[in-house]
Amino acid sequence: MPVLVNGLMEYAIMQDGGRDQFNNPLPAIITWSKPIPCHIMTVTHRNDGVAEDGVFTNSSYKIWIEAYGREMSFYPERVRLTQDGVNVGEWQVQAPPQWKHSNGRIEFIVGNRLNRQV
């Protein structure tokens, strides 16, 4: 049974930034994968925290994508989610993806927002 698609996931591809003229390391260059259709399910969503710059949202999500044609070693560290055309944010992957052989899906749990939405 295929995944019920309700969003898109992109994963960060980090490349070495190289070195400057004094041989100091430069910041990594981050590019994003092509959008992958996925199913996004909210696990937690609370607006009960306070951060220095305003309201802090504590959220985590389960993400399912079709496993067919993907490598077992597929392990992004950061993902960017879009649901119903709205940017949900950029998130850390919390643990290695779980390969669900019984239904042909890969499951991710993401949380700890990496950037603040304005």
Q: What is the pTM of this model?
A: 0.75
**Averaged pLDDT for residues 66-92:** 82
Classify residue 51 as exposed, middle or buried by CB count within 10 Å of its CB (0-12, 13-18, 19+). exposed
Letter string b/e over residues 89-107, b meaning 16 or more CB atoms within 10 A of that residue's CB: bbbebeeebeeeeeeebbb
Answer yes or no: is pLDDT of 36 > 70. yes
Name which residue leads in pLDDT, 7 or 59: 7
Q: How confident is the model at residue 117 (pLDDT cuts 50, 70, 90)?
A: very low
Structure tokens at 34: 């092509």
Q: How confident is the model at residue 105 (pLDDT cuts 50, 70, 90)?
A: confident
Rg of the chain in Å (alpha carbons): 16
Q: How confident is the model at residue 12 (pLDDT cuts 50, 70, 90)?
A: very high
Name which residue leads in pLDDT, 23 or 99: 23
**Averaged pLDDT for residues 32-44:** 91
Candidates 75, 80, 107; CA nearest to 91 is: 80
Answer yes or no: is pLDDT of 6 > 70. yes
In angstroms, rounded to a whole number, what is the distance separating the alpha carbons of residues 71 and 87? 27
**Averaged pLDDT for residues 46-57:** 56
In angstroms, rounded to a whole number, what is the distance separating the alpha carbons of residues 68 and 86? 27
| CATH of segment(s) 7-113 | 2.40.10.270
**107: enclosing H helix or E strand:** strand 105-113
